[in-house]
Structure 1
Amino acid sequence: MEPSVARYDERLTAPRSWWGIAALISLAGGLMLLPLGALPLLGGLIGAGALAAAGVSSYGSARVRVVADSLVAGDARIPVSALGEAEVLDREETIAWRLHKADPRAFMLLRSYVPTALRVPVTDPDDPTPYLYLSTRDPRGLLEALNAVRTGSAGSADSA
């Protein structure tokens, strides 16, 4: 049962200010329909608010997890054995890897509101992806979880 327990689990939630913007979009939706009456105003408030909230929630639902012997980032799942040594990126390096250092073939789980990231080379020769760029608020914790899987993977295979 223990291999299914997540060693690392982070949800890249959207900042609070985005929820404030969603509330303003809701208000704008209601105000646009105000000339048509009270019921359309209420419909505009509810409809625009629901759409804006769904958008913010969807964008902020991306997760980065280390489960069993795999790294799960958004919709991608890759075994830790196919990954090289990860590199913690500070603010400046995070920006550089988003811009001029970025490789278009890389898998990027990028959230602009997260100031730090982890860059993990892909060592699988059959995979054309050179590296994974993962926005994370705790890059050192993610690195430790990946290293723990790497060092403990041989021991957990023997115990299974």
Structure 2
Amino acid sequence: MRVSPTVRADHAERLTVPWWMWPAGLAGAAALATEIWLGAGGVQAWLPFALLLPATVVLLVRLGRIRVAVEDGELLVDDARLPLRFVSGVVALDAEGKREILGVAAHPLAFVVQRPWVRGAVQVLLDDPADPTPYWVVSTRHPLELAAAIEAARGGTA
């Protein structure tokens, strides 16, 4: 999904997997395929390579497809949309704050999009009487910039 040139995005990022997950994932898939190859002959010998390596690539691409953006008065997280008129506050979280808010302090009805390889996050507090969700927690590599973009967009929509 790309941002169209006519729509101005206040903040946009993709939560891609880190570079080291590619060689680690492919090496793990190759090791598993080799293990199966050692005990098989004929078609079963090359089939694990033909299945496991492409499946690993697809998995890594899917893990890194989450898009976080603030545009047109909405917070977009993957396919979820939050109109900013329901936002009552935003808190930028570092790694420790993210761990705390997702740990024992977590609310069971919170909307969470979390990637463990992304250290920062934002907590978006909601004020919508029709929605039981108290807040969103969204991983981001730039928590201060995302929080500022949400606040700036809220000021523009209020």
Q: What's the TM-score, normalizing by structure 1?
A: 0.87
Does residue 20 in structure 1 map to residue 23 in structure 2? Answer: yes
Asked if 2 retains the 8 angstrom alpha-carbon contact of 1:94 and 1:117, the reply is yes
Question: Deviation digits for residues 38-91 of structure 1, max 9, x if unmatched?
Answer: 754433223101111111211111111111110011221010111111001122
Cross-structure match for 2:8: 5
- SS of equivalent residue, structure 2 residue 112: strand
Question: Deviation digits for residues 111-145 of structure 1, max 9, x if unmatched?
Answer: 11111110010111111100000110001111111
RMSD: 2.0
Cross-structure match for 2:146: 142
- SS of equivalent residue, structure 1 residue 4: coil
Farther off after superposition, 126-135 or 66-75: 66-75
Cross-structure match for 2:119: 115
| Residue type of the alignment partner of 2:21 | W
d(CA) in 2 for partners of 1:76 and 1:46? 34
Question: Which stretches in structure 1 are left out of the alignment for 5+ residues?
Answer: 155-160
Asked if 2 retains the 8 angstrom alpha-carbon contact of 1:65 and 1:71, the reply is yes
Does residue 102 in structure 1 map to residue 106 in structure 2? Answer: yes
- SS of equivalent residue, structure 1 residue 84: strand
Shift of 1:22: 1.9
Which one of the candidate residues 94, 97, 111 is aligned to 1:93? 97
Q: What's the TM-score, normalizing by structure 2?
A: 0.88
Distance 1:38 1:2, change over 3 A: closer
Shift of 1:100: 1.0
Distance 1:33 1:80, change over 3 A: same
Question: Deviation digits for residues 85-119 of structure 1, max 9, x if unmatched?
Answer: 10011221111111111111000011111111100
Asked if 2 retains the 8 angstrom alpha-carbon contact of 1:70 and 1:78, the reply is yes
Which one of the candidate residues 69, 76, 81 is aligned to 2:73? 69
Cross-structure match for 1:45: 49
